[in-house]
Structure 1
Amino acid sequence: MGISSKLLNEGERVLVSMRQHPKALFPAIFALIVLLAVGVAVQVLVDVAAVTLVVWILVALAICWWTLRPVLLWATAVHAVTDRRIITRWGIVTRRGHDIPLRRVSDISIEINLIDRPFGCGTLIITNASTDGNVHLHDIPRVEQTKLLIHNLVNDLPESAPRLDDGA
């Protein structure tokens, strides 16, 4: 799922479209394994069919909440960098979004922890000049290249264009 062309202004181009690195699904996969292990353990150890049925119903509900929901959120979330702004969209039933015009970006930083390094992903932290403060985009693939792209776009804005961080 990429950014819909309906979201773009006339003449605006998508330079990078991405979703979170699949590493973000590790907790959901771990929850699935633990929940299935609990269900199987109860089925093997308990001879009462009603108890086993109740446990499997609870396991199914827990799988929906701790596995299916995070996977759907991951699948519906998308981040894009255009030549004018940074776009984020996410949500299963209710779609949410955040757009940051490049003119409002005052600082870009990254965080790459020990677990992120082998996967080549990290957190992109964008500080904008409005009252929103920092926007954290977690588990961004190729985070260093994305930071460099945004940095180059912000620095290549025409000087005649007003920027909030320049006091205009």
Structure 2
Amino acid sequence: MAFPTKLLNEGEHVVVSTRTHVKALILPGLVLVVALVAALLLTGVADNGVVRLIVWVLFLAVLVWFLVGPFLRWLTTTYTFTNRRFIKRSGFIAKEGRTIPLNRISGVDFEIGVIDRIFGCGTLVVSDASTDGSVALNDIPQVEQVQLQVSNELHRLAGGDRDHRDDGT
């Protein structure tokens, strides 16, 4: 996904841009299936048109609450690392964002659980020097690759790409 170039400063470019893994939508999808089966069963049992209408109105409420909401949050939340900063943006109508300059980031770690391993994602933990301490980004696809790219950018920013070798002497 492309981060809007109009939001980048002069000389700034995107290193990594991602969103939460689609696995975050599995539970809402299961709720939808269970609600649909329940609505169909209740509609088949009910002999009153008003009861059927109430069942389908409740189904639509479940659909909006448990599927549309999580889908819009998933769709509109992005995590972007540029060569200068980390940017978390979310929201469709009411927007929210957080920016951490890369020079304030003290570490980028990752955690991969058993289920995460199956889906190829994990948690990226961005530690900074602020009072908040760290930001955990859950369900990041290919988290090890993202961590490596961000670590390389932090190393470059710290002057680690200079043309001299450290031979330990």
Give the TM-score of the pair, scaled to structure 1: 0.89
Rounded to whole Å, the distance in 1 between the matches of 2:5 and 2:62 is 36
Aligned length: 159
**Correspondence 1:40-79 to 2 at 5 A:** 40-79=40-79
Match in the other structure for 1:121: 121
| Match runs of 1:13-24 below 5 Å | 13-24=13-24
Shift of 1:158: 4.0
What displacement does 1:92 show?
Answer: 2.1
What is aligned with 2:88?
88
Q: How many Å separate the matches in 2 of 1:148 and 1:66?
A: 34
Does the 8 A contact of 2:127 with 2:135 survive in 1?
yes
Question: Could you tell me whether the CA contact under 8 Å between 1:2 and 1:78 is conserved in 2?
Answer: no
Letter in 1 for 2:48: V
Distance 1:132 1:2 in 2: 28
In the alignment, the residues of structure 2 paired with residue 157 and residue 32 of structure 1 have an alpha-carbon distance, to the nearest angstrom, of 46
Counterpart amino acid of residue 116 in structure 1: D
* TM-score w.r.t. length of structure 2: 0.89
Equivalent position SS for 1:115: helix
CA RMSD of aligned residues (A): 1.2
Q: Distance in 2 between matches of 1:15 and 1:127?
A: 18
- Corresponding letter in the other structure for 2:112: I
Identity score, percent: 43
Measured after TM superposition, the shift of residue 23 of structure 1 is 0.8
Tell me by how many angstroms 1:11 deviates: 0.5
In structure 2, what is the Cα distance between the partners aligned to 1:82 and 1:14?
Answer: 4
Task: Tell me if the contact between 2:16 and 2:149 (Cα under 8 Å) persists in the aligned partners.
Answer: no
CA distance in 2, matches of 1:154, 1:15: 11
Q: Which runs of 5+ in 2 are unaligned?
A: 160-169
Cα distance in 2 for partners of 1:9, 1:101 equals 12
Structure 1 stretches of 4+ with a deviation exceeding 3 A read none
Please, which runs of 5 or more residues in structure 1 have no aligned partner?
Answer: 160-168
Which residue number in structure 2 is paired with residue 155 of structure 1?
Answer: 155
Aligned to 2:27: 27
Tell me the distance in 2 between the aligned counterparts of 1:83 and 1:76: 22
* Contact 2:79/2:88, CA 8 A, preserved across alignment: yes
